[in-house]
Amino acid sequence: MLTITQINYIRKMYFDKGHSVSEIEKRTTHSRNTILKYIEKEDFNEKQRCQKENRKSDLVRPFVRQILLEDKNKRRKQRHTAKRIYERALDEIPELCQIKERQMRTVVAEERKEIYTENVCFLDLEHPGGEAQVDFGEVDIYEDGKLVKAHEFVMTFPSSNAGFCQITKSETMEAVCDSMEKIFNHIGKVPYKIWFDQMAAAALRQKDEHGIVMANPRFQKFAMHYGFEINFCNPNSGNEKGSVENKVGYFRNNLFIPEPQVHHLDKFNKELLVRCDKDNERAHYKHKPETIQMLFDREKEHMHTVNTKAYDHARETINHVYKNGHIKVNSNEYSVSPSKVGEKVIVKYYANELIIYDSGYREITRHKRSFEKDKKFTHWIDFITLVSRRPKALKYTGFYSLLPDVWQNYTCTLKKEEVSEALSFLKFCLLEKDFDFASKVLEENIKQAVYSPSALWTTYYRLSENKALYLQGTTDTLPMLPGYAIHLDDYDMLLVGGVS
């Protein structure tokens, strides 16, 4: 079959240039009958395709489809394979199954695709100014040199395509509120409406009498404090918040490749907001040459000013202090204080921190909030006093393994009462300085062959005041001094009237 271009060439040579059929045959190498066919052809309308005749495979399609529909509600690993469907067809409908197993595989694949593929059409959504969308993603970061999984909190403003990002350790409500507060304070505005998927941090697993998903009461208070309306998307409807879905991937590819080094999370998140500001300086993909920031500045007119009074979004629980001086939070243990054993304490959960208070809301201690399982976290400085009362138990405590080598070796050379005195100094030094300074003090004393724990205090104050120990120019013998002659006449002259 010739192409339209070839047919047109033949007709043009015959009708316009007057070439004979023989000449056209020589030039095109097409057969004479083919050339005559297209010269004489008058109707170039495309013929309608005839419907395919019934195939043998059509006889088994209803049977196959019924099995696949029943399988849809069953466990995936216990559904029919194409081979098993073919075997059943041979047993149950042998008169209709007139195809081979290979053809059955094709039929099953076609029917399965039709059943499991939803042909859904999505419309472009118009976003009024002043609305925002929120979602989480996952990224890898290096925290203190270790590769860990973190969560990427993203808020976008679809009308202008502006976006802001924060890194969190979890997807808890505390992490959501903390990230939103930082973004609100950074831009100085709050959108009047924010769209969420039905994340556990914001939504309850129940609906009201109108069938609408209910917001978590704690999160609803947070929304009332800052004055935004909570809206939840429908389940499995990522198209309803496509702006933030795209921005999650965009930030992951542009801000977190390669994996960033994070030494201080709060500082890193502040720098992240500045980088987002720079990213918003690029041209908008639809409204060039206007930048995203220019559109966002205009969009801010539809938002209201952020509440200057901070909202305490922490969750509170009351925990019992066990005999080892720890409380249990989920599956982890956190130290409190030996003096609080047997008492009840108040624990406030923030995004990345736990703060422990006594019953009068006086702060006892703080811990980094961990989302690992079955871990134990101890501030050994709170337990030094307890260990100093039982110095022989020092080597069998977790605190001993945290000591620098110089301190481990030093405590092994001391007597029982000297260990207590050395630990008292160490606690003081840790409260005022750190382990490095405590080691520096001890190394200075060892250098001068001074091993008494009481001497640690003298060296501590000397090094704190940055005073050097004067040892230069000393010898094992007394220095030679010049002779000194005494003249009594000089003293007589000092007496009034001289000598009588």
DSSP states along 374-432 = S-EE--GGGGHHHHHHSGGGGGGSHHHHHS-HHHHHHHHTS-HHHHHHHHHHHHHHHHH
Which residues span the domain enclosing 111?
56-116
Mean pLDDT score, 55-76:
88
Task: Using DSSP, state whether 158 is helix, strand or coil.
Answer: coil
| Mean pLDDT on 225-235 | 86
One domain for residues 91 and 197: no
* Full strand arrangement of the beta sheet holding 344-349: 315-320, 344-349, 353-357, 363-368
pLDDT at 471 over 60: no
> Per-residue pLDDT averaged across 46-73, rounded?
80
Interacting residues of 284 by C-beta distance below 8 A, sequence separation 6+:
160, 161, 290, 291, 292, 295
The pLDDT score that the predictor gives to residue 49 is 61
Same domain flag for 100 and 230? no
Average pLDDT over residues 410-423: 84
Residue 106 pLDDT > 90, yes or no? Answer: yes
* 145 phi-psi bin (left φ>0, alpha ψ -120 to 50, beta other): left
Of 379, 404, 405, 399, which Cα lies nearest the Cα of 387?
399
State the pLDDT at residue 346: 92
190-204, pLDDT tens digit by residue?
999 999 988 888 877
Indicate the residue among 68, 84, 116 that finishes a domain: 116
Domain co-membership, 407 together with 487: yes
Task: Compute the distance between CA of residue 97 and CA of residue 60 in angstroms, rounded to an integer.
Answer: 6
For residue 191, being part of any structural domain is answered with yes
Mean pLDDT confidence for 203-226? 82
Pair 368, 394 in one domain: no
| Closest alpha carbon to 109 in 77, 81, 71 | 81
CB atoms within 10 A of CB 448: 11
Does 109 map to a domain? yes
Rounded to whole angstroms, the Cα distance separating 134 from 183 reads: 12
pLDDT-above-70 percentage for the chain: 90
Q: What SS3 state is found at 270?
A: helix
Long-range contacts of 318-327 (CB under 8 A, 24+ apart): 318/344, 318/345, 318/346, 318/347, 319/344, 319/345, 319/346, 319/347, 320/344, 321/345, 325/382, 325/383, 325/386, 326/376, 326/378, 327/356
Sheet (strand 332-335) strand order: 326-329, 332-335, 376-377
**Is residue 172 included in any domain, yes or no?**
yes
Which pLDDT band, with edges at 50, 70 and 90, does 498 fall under? low
Same domain assignment for residues 227 and 296: yes
- 152, 271: one domain: yes
Average pLDDT value for residue range 469-485 = 61
By DSSP bridging, strand 203-207 and strand 162-168 are unpaired
Sort strands 229-232 and 193-196 into parallel, antiparallel or unpaired: parallel
pLDDT digits (tens, 9 = 90+) for 329-377: 888 999 888 778 888 999 999 988 899 998 888 888 889 888 888 888 8
Q: Which of 282, 305, 328 is the last residue of a domain?
A: 305
Which residues, other chains included, contact 479 with Cβ-Cβ below 8 Å and sequence gap of 6+? Answer: none
The pLDDT score that the predictor gives to residue 410 is: 87
Per the structure, the count of domains in the chain is: 5
Cβ atoms of 133 and 241 within 8 Å: the answer is yes
**68 and 102 part of one domain:** yes
Q: What is the mean pLDDT of the chain?
A: 84
Say which range, 33-37, 126-130, 221-225, has the weakest mean pLDDT. 126-130
Residues 393/424, Cβ–Cβ less than 8 Å: no
Residues comprising the chain, all counted: 500
Q: Considering only 72-76, 106-110, 373-377, 381-385, which range has the smallest mean pLDDT?
A: 381-385
Report yes or no on 291 lying in a domain. Answer: yes
Q: Given the structure tokens 């047993």, which residue do they identify?
A: 91
125 inside domain = no
Identify whether 124 is part of a domain: no
* Cα gap 257→260, rounded to integer Å: 7
Q: What is the pLDDT of residue 50?
A: 58
Same domain, 374 and 400: no
- Note whether 171 and 245 are same-domain residues: yes
Cα separation, 418 vs 429, whole angstroms: 16
pLDDT band per the 50, 70, 90 thresholds, residue 163: very high
Contacts of 243 (CB under 8 A, 6+ apart): 127, 133, 156, 157, 158, 161
Using pLDDT thresholds of 50, 70 and 90, give the confidence band for residue 54. Answer: low
Place of tokens 């002659």: 485
The candidate with the shortest Cα–Cα distance to 109, out of 75, 87, 86, is: 86
Peptide bond into 338 cis (omega under 30): no
User: Mean pLDDT over residues 417-436, rounded?
Assistant: 82
Asked whether residue 152 is domain-assigned, the answer is yes
**pLDDT attached to residue 57:** 87
Residues 500 and 387 in one domain: yes
Under 8 Å between Cβ of 259 and 147: yes
| Same domain, residue pair 274 and 153 | yes
Q: Which of residues 318 and 419 earns the better pLDDT score?
A: 318
Residue 356 is part of a domain; what is its CATH number? 2.30.30
pLDDT score recorded for residue 492: 75
Instruction: Give the distance, in angstroms, between the CA of residue 191 and the centroid of all CA atoms in the same chain.
Output: 23
How many whole angstroms separate alpha carbon 293 and alpha carbon 161?
A: 9
Span 252-287, pLDDT tens digits: 989 998 889 998 999 999 999 999 999 999 998 887
**319 domain residue, yes or no:** yes
Query: Residues 366, 398: one domain?
Result: no
pLDDT at 132: 92
